[in-house]
């Protein structure tokens, strides 16, 4: 392939549409501090995602870090989470001076294995932070049962799950809070951005404090907070992209279905099986290179790159195995997570990816068989 095909490409409105939309900022000079467009995007996202309250943030990591902080867990408390995720999930726990306890995942969909959560609970456990991986939804019913039984908080990392519904309920309604990422690489983006969804009005108020230095008015700073606000430029990008999201979704679905059709029968290439009761947002297309495929995962990754197809081994290494943790979790029982991490390749998928490019990718994968 002569043209380089990257793993993703940011969805954007037309140049003319965005420039027209940001023109009023030159009149108001109100560029941040939760202005008109910030508030408008919150309301439109609440409606689109079918959730009660959204607090926009500067990025998805800050959303998770502040959501955890909002619960005021005692320092040193334990949080059960998954290692099969982007490092942000774990870093947000650690930066809140809490201890991550890693639970293995399910081979079928990559989400946290709910059958292994209870055995990890100790008197120090305060919360569970599961991740909806690649848009595959966790077993929210069983996780809620466990959290109710042990009086634990549940904060979902829904960075991959924008727009997804389960049994016609917005996925952000589950647990005590959910966070979204609106990074430029995500299926919906605000350039950089994120959000916290919560049902409790007190938590929503707490989020407001935490993302704006704890400032209540010109003379009152009621608590210690950070600067986690989304800018008006990002909010306007989000408003523009939201208008076109359904069209982008249809384009991604077409690409997703093309991959499924072309790869489902390839020996040694496995595709995940998501919850049949949940919708999809077609944000990612992971494949898992098993032992009976003629190449190793790394060999296939290299072969695709030689053909100008830039894939990603996402997530590899596991979060728990990253150098920053200095082998602290090397003895953790994470057999399936490590297996998936050693097999995974994300294939290119984005709005308006050309069908002929997908066909070429499929033929390269099939051609080495």
Which class for 236: exposed (0-12), middle (13-18), buried (19 or more C-beta within 10 A)? buried
% the chain with pLDDT above 90? 95
Measured in Å, how far apart are the chain's first and last C-alpha atoms? 19
- pLDDT value at residue 363: 96
Task: Categorize the per-residue pLDDT at 66 as very low, low, confident or very high, splitting at 50, 70 and 90.
Answer: very high
Mean pLDDT of 194-217: 94
Mean pLDDT of 78-102: 98
Question: Which residue in this structure is represented by tokens 């870093």?
Answer: 91
Residues 235-256: pLDDT tens digits? 999 999 999 999 999 999 999 9
User: Nearest 5°: phi and psi at 318?
Assistant: -55, 150
Task: Look at the domain 245-367 and name its fold.
Answer: 3.90.1150
Residues 93-106: pLDDT tens digits? 999 999 999 999 99
Question: Which residue in this structure is represented by tokens 């020996």?
Answer: 267
Residue environment code for 152-179, b if the CB has 16+ CB neighbours within 10 A, otherwise e:
bbbbbbbbbbbbbbbeeebbbbbbbbbb
- Checking if the pLDDT of 2 tops 90, the result is no
- Checking if the pLDDT of 110 tops 70, the result is yes
Residues 124-164: pLDDT tens digits? 999 999 999 999 999 999 999 999 999 999 999 999 999 99
Same fold yes or no, 15-243 and 245-367? no
- pLDDT value at residue 322: 97
Residues 18-52: pLDDT tens digits? 999 999 999 999 999 999 999 999 999 999 999 99
- pLDDT value at residue 281: 97
Structure tokens at 368: 């080495």
Q: C-alpha 302: how far from its chain's center?
A: 26
For residues 139, 59, 350, 187, the Cα torsion angle rounded to the nearest 10 degrees is 50
Give the span between the Cα atoms of 192 and 82, in whole angstroms: 24
User: Nearest 5°: phi and psi at 12?
Assistant: -145, 150
Question: Which residue in this structure is represented by tokens 């939760």?
Answer: 34
Q: Mean of the per-residue pLDDT values for the chain?
A: 96
Q: C-alpha 306: how far from its chain's center?
A: 29
CATH node for 15-243: 3.40.640.10
Residue 98: which of 134, 73, 123 has the closest Cα? 73
Mean pLDDT of 105-118: 98
How is the chain split into domains, by residue range? 15-243, 245-367
- Checking if the pLDDT of 365 tops 60, the result is yes
- Checking if the pLDDT of 289 tops 80, the result is yes
């Amino acid at each position: 392939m002569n043209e380089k095909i990257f793993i993703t490409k940011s969805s954007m409105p037309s140049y003319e549409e965005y420039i027209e939309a940001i023109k009023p900022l030159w009149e108001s000079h109100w560029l941040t501090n939760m202005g008109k467009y910030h508030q408008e995007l919150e309301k439109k996202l609440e409606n689109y995602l079918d959730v009660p309250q959204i607090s926009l943030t500067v990025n998805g990591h800050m959303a998770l870090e502040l959501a955890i902080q909002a619960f005021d867990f005692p320092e040193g408390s334990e949080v059960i989470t998954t290692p099969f995720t982007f490092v942000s999930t774990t870093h947000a726990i650690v930066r809140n001076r809490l201890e991550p306890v890693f639970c293995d995942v399910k081979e079928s969909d990559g989400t946290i294995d709910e059958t292994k959560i209870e055995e990890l609970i100790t008197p120090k456990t305060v919360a569970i932070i599961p991740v909806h991986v690649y848009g595959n939804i966790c077993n929210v019913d069983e996780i809620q049962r466990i959290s109710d039984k042990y009086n634990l908080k549940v904060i979902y990392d829904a960075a991959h799950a924008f727009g997804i519904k389960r049994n016609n309920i917005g996925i952000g309604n589950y647990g005590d809070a959910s966070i979204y990422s609106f990074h430029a690489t995500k299926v919906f983006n605000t350039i950089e951005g994120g959000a916290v969804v919560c049902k409790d009005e007190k938590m929503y108020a707490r989020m407001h404090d935490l993302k704006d230095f704890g400032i209540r008015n010109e003379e009152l700073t009621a608590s210690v907070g950070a600067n986690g606000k989304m800018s008006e430029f990002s909010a306007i990008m989000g408003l523009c992209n939201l208008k076109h999201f359904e069209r982008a979704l249809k384009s991604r679905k077409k690409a997703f279905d093309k991959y499924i059709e072309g790869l489902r029968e390839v020996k040694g290439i496995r595709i995940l099986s998501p919850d049949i009761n949940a919708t999809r947002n077609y944000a990612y297309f992971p494949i898992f290179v098993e032992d009976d495929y003629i190449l190793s995962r790394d060999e296939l990754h290299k072969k695709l790159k030689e053909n100008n197809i830039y894939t990603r081994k996402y997530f590899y290494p596991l979060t728990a195995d990253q150098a920053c943790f200095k082998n602290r979790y090397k003895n953790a029982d994470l057999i399936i997570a490590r297996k998936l991490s050693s097999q995974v390749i994300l294939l290119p998928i984005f709005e308006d990816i050309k069908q002929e490019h997908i066909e070429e990718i499929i033929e390269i994968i099939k051609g080495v068989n």
